[in-house]
């Protein structure tokens, strides 16, 4: 069965790149541009993995990760956090919110796909 990945990214180019790479690797992908739509989309789409931008307008990616992890239906869904702001202590805060893995932007395709495959074993 095809694995389903939700890509939460407000930057159009990054979102398109992540989605195109994932689709080319055989995943079913649903893009989400607005963090305010994340929870309703996860409940409809039931992803096997969530790729979460941390710096979103209107809502923090950290808050969204915590909300996903607090939902019993989604709590076991792995989250790969992606952020341009990789400062001291950021990784600990991101993992503390519940993300299983973390990548700093700019993201190279090789490490990105390696992280996805690590979180979604066949």
Span 17-73, pLDDT tens digits: 999 999 999 999 999 999 999 999 998 999 999 999 999 988 999 999 999 999 999
Residue 122 pLDDT more than 70? no
> Judging by beta carbons within 10 Å of its beta carbon (0-12, 13-18, 19+), is residue 44 exposed, middle or buried?
exposed
Q: What is the pTM of this model?
A: 0.94
Q: What is the mean pLDDT of the chain?
A: 93
Token couple for 64: 């969204």
Confidence grade of residue 88 (pLDDT, cut at 50, 70, 90): confident
List, in order of start, the domains of the chain with CATH numbers: 1-11+30-86+95-103 (3.40.50.2300)
For residues 63 and 52, what is the distance between their CA atoms, to the nearest angstrom?
11
Q: Is the CB of residue 49 less than 8 Å from the CB of residue 119?
A: yes
């Amino acid at each position: 069965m095809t694995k389903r990945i939700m890509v939460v990214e407000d930057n159009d180019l990054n979102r398109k790149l992540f989605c195109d790479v994932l689709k080319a690797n055989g995943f079913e992908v649903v893009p989400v541009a607005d963090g305010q739509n994340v929870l309703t989309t996860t409940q409809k789409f039931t992803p096997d993995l969530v790729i979460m931008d941390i710096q979103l307008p209107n809502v923090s990616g950290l808050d969204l990760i915590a909300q996903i992890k607090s939902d019993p239906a989604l709590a076991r869904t792995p989250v790969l956090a992606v952020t341009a702001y990789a400062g001291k202590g950021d990784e600990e805060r991101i993992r503390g919110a519940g993300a299983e893995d973390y990548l700093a932007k700019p993201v190279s395709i090789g490490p990105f796909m390696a992280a996805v495959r690590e979180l979604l074993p066949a």
